[in-house]
Amino acid sequence: MPPILERARRFESLADLGIIDAHCHVGPWFNFHVPRRGSMESMIEVMNRVGVEVACVTACLSVGPDMKRGNDLVLEFHGLYPSRIVPYCTVNPNYPKEIPGELERTHRAGCRALKFHDIHGRRYDDAGYRTAYEFADAHELPVLVHTWGRGNGSVLAEMCRRHPRARFLFAHAGSADREEYVRWVTEIPNAYLDLVFSAMPYGSVEYFVRRTPLAKILYGSDLPFLSLTQQIGKVLMARVSDEAKRSILGLNARGLFAQALAVRETTPTAHRV
Amino acid sequence: MSGFNLEFFDACVEIGPRTVRDEDQPWTLEDYRTDMEHFGIAEAVVYHSVAKEYDPAEGNRRLLEEVQGDVRLHPQWILLPPDTGELPPPEELAAEMRARGVSSARLCPGQHHYPLEEYFLGDLLGVLEDAATPLFLEQAEAPWPQVVKICTEHPRLQVVTTRTRYRETRVLPSLLKKLPNLHVDTAVLADHCILEEYGRRFGPGRFVYSSSWPFLSPASAMTLIGYAGLDEAGKRAVASQNLRRMLQRRSP
């Protein structure tokens, strides 16, 4: 097989690489127009074109105002595309009474990953998250958390230390204070990073590969907030080994999302792709 | 997919030393030539950092010295409001650009501290328009209402916004629908399905590939185009043909 750089320069399907996109959403958004309303169908089309096997998805609706209905949506899509979609249960800390039931309900339905986003207006050490941290720790779940440099990242780093059995994926490494991301994932055993950023500075993939444990770096696109096709280029064409690219594009996520990927094997197939 | 080759013509490259620089960030023309090989970039429009961060006259002169003899590199001069007298008068400037093979112009109104307004730039914009010399503007320095005025008042002037931000999707449809002389680059145009959606609505002729080197990886916009849901003709248009056509329209 030719090197991944060569295959990317010819825009070949990369389906054989087992690519897992660890950071996706689904649906429209309030402050810009998402073409094709960010529909699941449009996402699956793009995934097929590039050769992305699995998308880990949290609904824009639950990142926004409606936690429960958003979680319902991703479970619905998981039912439609069980082999392609890993559903996140998104937690809105402003509804602390609803959270225990939501965690149990979505877990029963197949969610094996959580999502936190401080667009909900609470710091990551806010009491509103407590049940979710405890749940993630008890079930050893991965938690995708929106970060943007040391401001919210340092709070999350502390929460990683307090919940050592949960595993935390620091989103948007490289957005700001990239040396802090290196420090967090190097020093904290249950800290990981993803590479989502609309305008990732030149050489960022090489920067993280040189300085952090390779197994801690995951590919994510933020699809459909961002374009999967745009976000994957920096990994495919980076000046790092093909072994590193394979790890970032899928192998590392296969470990982090092992529980979720096991669930999909037992989920009834409504619409296999 | 068995794959296909695309030729890329890069619309936005800055070479030269910069006031502020990350340690591992490239900057020399040789660095860019190395990246042309690695990523597979055939040609590029290039301006000089010294023209942007120090003095356009000095930087434009250094640019020509550095790119001389490399037919893959298309020099772009950074210009100023003509009344300051820092550069030759517009007609003279246009003749010099033509004589020296400078095929496009760039304005940096934010960096160089002047309003992007007809009042200050009208004479210059008129000359660029007559000479069919495309004008490049970094979107962060060119508020959309001012871009609308320039495109409207100079309808034959081809305008390219570079580092055009994603999430401009509540604005871009009106601009692309009403301003046929406006083109946007793809360096940060990271919206889901934007090329296929806007390509269908406004035609793929409105987009040009750019890397925004050395600030960003050239790869992101390449895979945005190469893996887009456009037909191959549309991809070729965005990757190279639109920009080449724009630069070749210049008066002899």
User: Between chains, do A32 and B170 touch, taking CB under 8 Å as contact?
Assistant: yes
Which H, E and C letters describe A70-92, residue by residue? Answer: HHHHHHHHHHHCCCCEEECEECC
The two tokens of residue B119 are 């009042």
DSSP 3-state assignment of B45?
strand
| Inter-chain CB proximity A203 and B217 less than 8 Å | yes
Tell if the CB–CB gap between B226 and A223 is shorter than 8 Å. no
Residues of A in contact with B193 (CB under 8 A): 35-36, 42, 46, 224, 227
Question: Which value does ipTM take for this structure?
Answer: 0.95
Residues of chain A contacting B1 with CB distance shorter than 8 Å: 11-13, 49, 51
Say whether B44 sits in a helix, a strand or coil. Answer: strand
Comparing C-alpha atoms, which of B251, B209, B250 is closest to residue B40?
Answer: B209
Q: What is the pLDDT along chain A (273 residues), one digit of tens a residue?
A: 899 999 999 999 999 999 999 999 999 999 999 999 999 999 999 999 999 999 999 999 999 999 999 999 999 999 999 999 999 999 999 999 999 999 999 999 999 999 999 999 999 999 999 999 999 999 999 999 999 999 999 999 999 999 999 999 999 998 999 999 999 999 999 999 999 999 999 999 999 999 999 999 999 999 999 999 999 999 999 999 999 999 999 999 999 999 999 997 776 554 333
Query: pLDDT value at position A268?
Result: 57
Measured between alpha carbons, how far is residue B57 from residues B13, B29, B76, B120 in Å? Answer: 18, 19, 12, 19
CA distances from A43 to A37, A49, A52, A148, A267 (A): 10, 10, 10, 25, 21
Distance from CA of A225 to the nearest CA of B (A): 7
Phi/psi at A120 (nearest 5 deg)? -75, -5
pLDDT digits (tens, 9 = 90+) for B195-212: 999 999 999 999 999 999
What residue in B sits closest to A235 (Cα-Cα)? Answer: B219
pLDDT at B1 over 60: no
**Mutation target among B227, B231, B236, B238 for the A interface, most CBs of A within 10 A:** B227
Q: How far apart are CA A193 and CA A216, in angstroms?
A: 6
In the stretch 178-237 of chain B, residues with CB closer than 8 A to chain A read 187-194, 196-198, 212-224, 226-229
Residue B165 has pLDDT above 50, yes or no: yes
- pLDDT for A272: 39
A210 interfaces chain B, CB cutoff of 8 Å: no
Alpha carbon of residue B138 to chain centroid: 8
Residue B179: strand, helix, or coil: coil
Could you give the CA distance from residue A168 to residue B8 in angstroms, rounded to a whole number? Answer: 39
Q: If we measure between CA atoms, which residue out of A147, A144, A143 comes closest to residue A135?
A: A143
The edge-to-edge listing of strands for the beta sheet with A19-26 is A19-26, A52-59, A85-87
**A179 in reach of chain B (CB within 8 A):** no
Give the per-residue pLDDT at A138: 98
